[in-house]
Amino acid sequence: MTKPKELLEDAPGKTLLLLANEAIARGVLEAGVRLVALYPGTPSSEIGNNLTFMAPHIPNFYFEFSTNEKVALEVAGAAAVAGVRSMMVCKGPGLNVAADPFFSLAYVGVRGGMVIVVADDPSMWSSQNENDSRYYALMGNMPLMEPSDPAEAKSMLLEAYEFSEKVELPVLFRTTTRVNHTRAPVRFHEIRERPAQVEFEKEPYRFVPVPSVARLRHPWLLGQIAKAREISETSHLNFIEGTGDLGIITSGVAYTYVVEALDHLGMNAEILKLGITHPLPEQKLTDFLRMHERVVVVEELEPYLETHARRLAQLHRVEVDILGKEQGYFSRTMEYSPRIVIEALCKIADCNTCINWDEIDSRMKDMADLPPRPPLLCAGCPHRASYFAIRTATRGKAIYPSDIGCYTLSIAPPLETADILFDMGSSISTACGIAQVTGQDIVASVGDSTFFASVLPGLVNAVYNKHPVSLVVLDNRTTAMTGHQPHPGTGITGMQEQVEPLDVEDVAKGLGVKYVKTINPFDSLAGLVREVREMVKWVRENHEPAVLVSKAPCALLTAAEMRKTGEYPPRFYVDSDMCTACKRCLNRLSCPAMYLDSVTDKAVIDEPLCNYCGTCVAVCPQGAIKQEE
Amino acid sequence: MTSNTRNTTVINIAITGVGGQGVLTLAEILAKSALEDSHNVRVGEIHGMAQRGGHVVCTVRIGENAKGPIIDPGTAHLVVGFEPVETLREIHLISKGGLVIMNSHVQYPVVVSMGKAEYPSKEEIHDALTMHTAKIIEFNAIELANNAGNSLSMNIVMLGAILASGIVPIKKETALHVVQTTFPSKFVDVNTKAFELGYQAISDSL
């Protein structure tokens, strides 16, 4: 509800309740960032969602939703090379997509400050893995910062730009879900001006890393990291607080859990809180290890700090017990909580807490039988009709490579049309691999945003190498899963300008696909089934790829439009006289707006939840689902 | 072994429900009100996958010592449930003597609609909740929201209920003011009514 307009206010001293993502969007203004490029990915999505509506009101500012993360990093990286401050934002897996330019960018360095925000997702709330992106900083030799909360997300961002300019390197700014999606009071500071234009000064023997240049740049990079380490040694972002025999090293959101755990236990400890986690302040860290007999390392995911602490202790012959993941005090999976820290500290300090968690856990065991409520395709979602048709046309016997978006939810019964998934764009390429080694029909599916982001090279591959695969592009006119961002098929830019949209059908044809059709999944369910069947048959006969575009807007967009205009179509209802309680509608569609009446056992449409797609009408064998005249 | 604990001054409120019911909005409004009354506050949210009609839980933590967003099991002073089974799913968060405010209106999960799982009976839910706390207030918030003029105002009914519980250090006028200034003006009447109906329902039950 915090509006982009509020984030634009030139009101130093004002305090607002902000998500860290909103604080970062505000930080873009305060740091005088000239260009931001990103591809949306939760938990980082709200950064772009705010910037896109702020952008038209900020003088000398450019924002774009790039087609994917690699493109975004190249766009933002080049702007920083040209000499302005820039930013690229992605989720953890997004940095994998951008890995290629990432490493080169460190070699060539930047002239204007640059920050790469990467949002990791411990517990995988909305990601396919919980990779620890901090290792990118280590591997690529890029400075790394980790804020702990929304206020620090903004204040540290401003320092990241200063740091970046001092060492001429981008800074990797690593957040986690519990930082991105925490709201806290954040204080505004002054807005910094941005230059309208800069002159690109040519320096090809720096910015074109052909082998002879790269060989010189690598030692340069190591030298810059040595300089960065000196800054890290004295930076107030790496601070010590509290006193006690026990030492605790921590970073990121885990720091807040440590503070709360000590508070809860009434325990004293000296905390070394690290904001700059590459290059580490090795002297400060070694001195800290020397001052304690026992040091606990509290960090989510991989033992990154822990391994460094052990390395430094060995290198400098420090006698200290370093306690962390290696001895099993902490886990390498899932996000932490104050409880996890409290229980580990109790084990280490031999004390206990006033909350009997074992008892609570055992009471909850009886509740394991609660009916689950996983996320689902929304009521009125066009993908439901598409997947119903794909499954019906192939009688559930084809292989269904999936991709990344809302539609991955089709993994669940009764649709069950997701069989293999690696990453963004893998639908088409995994389909090719399976096609070559099996004789089975293959119907892959992908959304429109992912199609533009990552499917194009795979589709060219399928055409050129003649892979017999069917691809359904579920074109719901938006990037739905991450919060409805525009993409090249929508006709809206990150600057909120209207442009000519790219058409999926034209693009597929342009890439050489011979069989391309576009249909509306709400036109006729039987027609949809026929189209899928025809495509699969064509692929079998012609032994090359075919594309079917199933095009209808996201149900949430349609519902929002109806709420805005107040105009609703006639409602759908189940004629209970005709309903035989066969449950076909419920069992084949699993629509959240339908349920069984507990008394009559007949199907009912929950009116406030229904989004008027009408897909259920054709699924009922009795014709009992009707629309009012 | 020594028992080594001290009381902290943080008020923990967990809000649990189904994606689309307005759980996130309630958490933000509640926290904005706390900030307006000069309290430190943290809100924990989960976005993305969790929102697609699935189970959603949000945390609001008010007080100087609130640093992170997480509420541990056994530490919530108040659990606000938008739906019975979703209340039960998060009941481990409630502290000894903590209060549960629950909307009694059932929204079936799809597995139940499909007949693949059973929804527990009213009695089963009540018994399971009382294993964790004796203080449970159950009321039909969706009915009150409908009475206010819009079923979507259920989260504001719940806000009124939270304020009436006296657990949060927020002035009633502050919360009402935040509600009235946060949403478009055409919703002011419905939301004000929803707030008062929720407030009244809990005041009557206490």
The predicted-structure confidence for A52-68, as pLDDT tens digits, reads as follows 999 999 999 999 999 99
Cα A537 to Cα A469: distance, rounded to the nearest angstrom: 11
- Confidence check: pLDDT of B46 > 90: no
Residues A564-581 have pLDDT tens digits of 899 999 999 999 999 999
Among B5, B28, B91, beta carbon nearest to A266:
B5
* Coil vs helix vs strand at A120: strand
Mutate to test the interface with B, among A370, A583, A598 (most CBs of B within 10 A): A370
pLDDT of residue A96: 98
Residues A83-112 have pLDDT tens digits of 999 999 999 999 999 999 999 999 999 999
Cβ(A17)–Cβ(A184) below 8 Å: yes
Please answer yes or no on whether A17 and B41 come within 8 Å at the CB atom: yes
- Chain A, residues 57-116, CB within 8 A of chain B, namely none
Query: In terms of residues, how long is chain B?
Result: 206
The torsion angles phi and psi of A37, rounded to 5 degrees, stand at: -130, 140
- Confidence check: pLDDT of B8 > 70: no
DSSP A411: G
Cα A39 to Cα A31: distance, rounded to the nearest angstrom: 21
Q: By C-alpha distance, which of B142, B164, B134, B43 is closest to B84? A: B142
Continuous segment of H or E residues that includes residue A298: strand A294-298
Residues B139-174 have pLDDT tens digits of 999 999 999 999 999 999 999 999 999 999 999 999
Q: Which residues contact B12 (CB under 8 A, 6 or more apart)?
A: B59, B60, B61, B71, B75, B76, B77, B78, B93, B95
Mean residue pLDDT of chain A comes to 97
pLDDT of residue B6: 39
Q: Tell me whether A623 touches chain B (CB under 8 Å).
A: no
In the CATH hierarchy, which fold is given to the domain comprising A382-561?
Rossmann fold (3.40.50)
Exposed / middle / buried, residue A379 (Cβ in 10 Å: 0-12, 13-18, 19+): buried
Q: CA A424, A427, A428: angle at the middle one, nearest 5?
A: 115
Q: Is the pTM of this model over 0.80?
A: yes
User: What's the CATH code, domain A4-231?
Assistant: 3.40.50.970
Mutate to test the interface with A, among B5, B116, B131 (most CBs of A within 10 A): B5
Give A238-358's CATH code, choosing from 3.60.10.10, 3.30.70.1230, 3.40.1160.10, 3.40.50.920.
Answer: 3.40.50.920
Which residue is closest to B46 within chain A, CA to CA?
Answer: A181
Cβ(A475)–Cβ(A549) below 8 Å: yes
- Confidence check: pLDDT of A313 > 80: yes
pLDDT of residue B201: 97
In the CATH hierarchy, which fold is given to the domain comprising A569-627?
Alpha-Beta Plaits (3.30.70)
Please answer yes or no on whether A376 and B110 come within 8 Å at the CB atom: yes
Give A1's pLDDT tier (boundaries 50, 70, 90): low
Mean pLDDT of A19-24: 98
Q: pLDDT over 90 for what percent of chain A? A: 95
Q: Tell me whether A358 touches chain B (CB under 8 Å).
A: no
Please answer yes or no on whether A373 and B54 come within 8 Å at the CB atom: yes
On the question of a common fold for A238-358 and A569-627, the answer reads: no
Q: Predicted ipTM?
A: 0.95
* Coil vs helix vs strand at A494: coil
Q: pLDDT over 70 for what percent of chain B? A: 94
- Confidence check: pLDDT of B138 > 80: yes
Long-range contacts at A201-205 (CB < 8 A, ≥ 24 apart): A201/A83
- Shortest distance between the Cα of B153 and any Cα of chain A, in A, equals 13
Continuous segment of H or E residues that includes residue A210: none
CA torsion angle A240 A241 A246 A251 (round to 10) = -60
Question: Which residues from chain B sit within 8 angstroms of residue A344, using beta carbons?
Answer: none
Question: Which residues from chain B sit within 8 angstroms of residue A375, using beta carbons?
Answer: 19, 49-54
A45 vs B51: which has the higher pLDDT: A45
User: What are the CA-CA distances from residue A293 to residues A242, A262, A479 (Å)?
Assistant: 16, 18, 52
Mean residue pLDDT of chain B comes to 93
* CB count in 10 Å sphere of residue A317: 7
- In chain B, the domains with their CATH numbers are 11-205 (3.40.920.10)
Question: Which residues from chain A sit within 8 angstroms of residue B47, using beta carbons?
Answer: 42-43, 45-46, 125-126, 181, 483
Question: Which residues from chain B sit within 8 angstroms of residue A608, using beta carbons?
Answer: 151
How many Cβ pairs within 8 Å bridge chains A and B?
204
Please answer yes or no on whether A178 and B70 come within 8 Å at the CB atom: yes
Mean pLDDT of B78-95: 97
Among B29, B52, B108, beta carbon nearest to A376:
B52
Residues A495-537 have pLDDT tens digits of 999 999 999 999 999 999 999 999 999 999 999 999 999 999 9
Residues A172-227 have pLDDT tens digits of 999 999 999 999 999 999 999 999 999 999 999 999 999 999 999 999 999 999 99
Strand A182-187 to strand A144-145: parallel, antiparallel, or no bridges (unpaired)? unpaired
pLDDT of residue B114: 82
Please answer yes or no on whether A373 and B55 come within 8 Å at the CB atom: yes
Give B5's pLDDT tier (boundaries 50, 70, 90): very low
pLDDT of residue A553: 97
Please answer yes or no on whether B25 and A351 come within 8 Å at the CB atom: no
Q: By C-alpha distance, which of A199, A203, A192 is closest to A34? A: A192
- Confidence check: pLDDT of A366 > 80: no
Question: Which residues from chain B sit within 8 angstroms of residue A583, using beta carbons?
Answer: 114-115
Cβ(A125)–Cβ(A80) below 8 Å: no
pLDDT of residue B49: 63
Q: pLDDT over 70 for what percent of chain A? A: 100
Please answer yes or no on whether A594 and B113 come within 8 Å at the CB atom: yes
Q: Tell me whether A409 touches chain B (CB under 8 Å).
A: yes
- Confidence check: pLDDT of A469 > 80: yes
Please answer yes or no on whether B53 and A587 come within 8 Å at the CB atom: no
Mean pLDDT of B122-130: 95
Give A598's pLDDT tier (boundaries 50, 70, 90): confident
Please answer yes or no on whether A43 and B70 come within 8 Å at the CB atom: no
Which residue is closest to B39 within chain A, CA to CA?
Answer: A185
Please answer yes or no on whether B119 and A371 come within 8 Å at the CB atom: yes
Return the exposure string of A566-586: e unless at least 16 CB atoms fall within 10 Å of the residue's CB, then b: eeeeeebebeeeebeeebebb
Q: Which residues contact A265 (CB under 8 A, 6 or more apart)?
A: A342, A345, A346, A349, A351, A353, B4, B5
Please answer yes or no on whether A126 and B49 come within 8 Å at the CB atom: yes
What is the maximum alpha-carbon separation in chain B? 60
Mean pLDDT of A624-629: 95
Q: Where are the domains of chain A?
A: 4-231, 238-358, 382-561, 569-627
Give B2's pLDDT tier (boundaries 50, 70, 90): very low
Q: Tell me whether A30 touches chain B (CB under 8 Å).
A: no
Continuous segment of H or E residues that includes residue A95: helix A92-97
Please answer yes or no on whether A371 and B85 come within 8 Å at the CB atom: yes
The torsion angles phi and psi of A295, rounded to 5 degrees, stand at: -130, 125
- Confidence check: pLDDT of B7 > 70: no
pLDDT of residue B48: 65
Among B6, B18, B46, beta carbon nearest to A181:
B46
Cβ(A56)–Cβ(A67) below 8 Å: no
Residues A125-159 have pLDDT tens digits of 999 999 999 999 999 999 999 999 999 999 999 99
pLDDT of residue B200: 97
A608 vs A610: which has the higher pLDDT: A610
Please answer yes or no on whether B3 and A351 come within 8 Å at the CB atom: yes
* CB count in 10 Å sphere of residue A445: 29
- Shortest distance between the Cα of A182 and any Cα of chain B, in A, equals 5
Q: Tell me whether A184 touches chain B (CB under 8 Å).
A: yes
